[in-house]
Structure 1
Amino acid sequence: MEDTQTQEKTGFQHLFMQLNRAYAAKCFSQMTELGIHPGQIPILLLLAKRVEMSQREIAEELCVKPPTVNVMVQRMEKAGLIGRRHDEKDQRITRIFLTDQGYEMKKKVAEQIELNERYAFMGFSDAEKCLFRRFMEQIVANISCIPEEKTENLQEKERLTSD
């Protein structure tokens, strides 16, 4: 059995966090240099696909709270990346859309993301990349099965560790 210190440095939790921090730090720096906050990228990519959406639709699609979307939309509008217009059928609804400047930013962001992925997967074969994607998808699905309760179910823990 590994000692606690070794386990902390080699465990999956440590590797996930290390990967996330390293990638997020690189992306934050690059996106800031491009003139966009990394948290705004999902909205940028979503609007590029869907053309226009209400803030509520954006929040639902991205699984974030409407006030979070509101703050991002205000900042993106101030930066000239998005615009707003009233829905033709229901004037109470405001539609959010990318401006020409927003589409240009989306293009730059997509190019940077593609370049980052090429760097991240240097030395991986197509089969390995496919397998890695499959593993990550399975991990995401498995994480959704982790119970929310703070108390541990010892039988479940024993079942998982005996596999």
Structure 2
Amino acid sequence: MELDVLSTPGHLISLAARGFARLSEARLKPLGFGVGHLPVLVALRDGQASNQRDLARFARTEQPPMAQMLARMERDGLIARAPDPADGRSSRITLTETAQARLPDAIATLLRGNQEALHGFTDAEAGQLVDLLTRLIANLDQVASAEA
């Protein structure tokens, strides 16, 4: 029996991801954020990155798209750049007060959207879904690394 390509995990996860992205974009826009900003905002808030290279690594993206996003975020007053005293070729990136003030509302908005999307799931099912997706992402990362 041939597997229906529209019922594969890859396709269904893609549909779910697009649904989450549409919902999140619409809800974050009034706060001045986009879905793509979230890894940068969280990394800077938590002190896990402070330059473009580290932010790209944290967000699992390439440097050119990260540079473009950071330029837009700087233009929109969400981040500030200053020379890195440890590396003259690099800039230290920080959140502006505006971004810091809006971030809790953005996180609450995203968490509410996740709760709504998981309506009817038990806590155990939601936890299992997170565990399964985490394992899937690790497998995909491993496959991509092996092919690189």
Match of 2:137 among 125, 137, 140: 140
Contact 1:86 1:94 in 2 (8 A): yes
Contact 1:83 1:96 in 2 (8 A): yes
Runs of at least 5 residues in structure 1 that lack an aligned partner in the other structure: 150-163
Max radius of gyration: which structure? 1
Contact 1:52 1:97 in 2 (8 A): no
Give secondary structure in 2 for the equivalent of 1:94. strand
Q: Which amino acid in structure 1 is aligned with residue 118 of structure 2?
A: F
Identity of aligned residues (%): 27
Residue number in structure 2 paired with 1:71:
68
Residue number in structure 2 paired with 1:55:
52
How many residue pairs were aligned? 146
CA distance in 2, matches of 1:62, 1:69: 9
Contact 1:51 1:97 in 2 (8 A): no
TM-score by length of 1: 0.76
Runs of at least 5 residues in structure 2 that lack an aligned partner in the other structure: none
Q: Which amino acid in structure 1 is aligned with residue 44 of structure 2?
A: L
CA distance in 2, matches of 1:84, 1:27: 27
CA distance in 1, matches of 2:48, 2:126: 30
Match of 1:39 among 31, 36, 41: 36
Match of 2:81 among 76, 84, 88: 84
How much is the aligned-residue C-alpha RMSD, in angstroms?
2.4
Residue number in structure 1 paired with 2:115:
118
